[in-house]
Structure 1
């Protein structure tokens, strides 16, 4: 049986340089490809984030009724979650932490107001037994 897995995400941003810096600073991404209006970032485990800037893009976006709302990250260790939390707070002072069902969630926003959630432990370390209220809209 062949199974597909999520390998990439695509995101529109208002200012490419600002967003590339954010994701490299907070999540230790590296730039694999850089063009004038687009970039391909790789996470430390090689997940791909295709990022493009669109002239006139809003700096804040509302949550749509359907479709992907955000990508959630998982930290490998509790110490790494703490480091990511501090890096997030340098960009978003309103970043907050909550623990539900043994999972700690750190919730903040990137420079365009896109919600960023980081969890520890990840689903491979602690399979989920409930869906946190924050994921119900």
Structure 2
């Protein structure tokens, strides 16, 4: 996240950070952000992230990324939001996840179109095509 934030700032963009208070000491909060919101819990963080977001973009990451991604997909399935959920990663990084979503649907545990809740973007050019012109 830090590398992405620094690149956006270097390019003249705005970066909003949302971090739980407990992680302020366990991790180093990125300095120099356009806005920094310190919240009490991870749940509060995810709620504020969703409130502020126009879309959800998942880059390759660890279990925390998957936690946030699954919550976004779940909220979209439940109709809590209808924001696009985009997956961006080189070399078909997200293919196993999309396969799992389809497998879950094929086994009858979710609607047949479950995998449509997240869209795999093959590269940065595909992401740029999805963004409004004023970004």
TM over 0.5: no
TM-score (norm 1): 0.33
Which gives a bigger RCO, structure 1 or 2 (Cα 8 Å, sep 6+)?
Answer: 1
Q: Which has the higher strand share?
A: 1
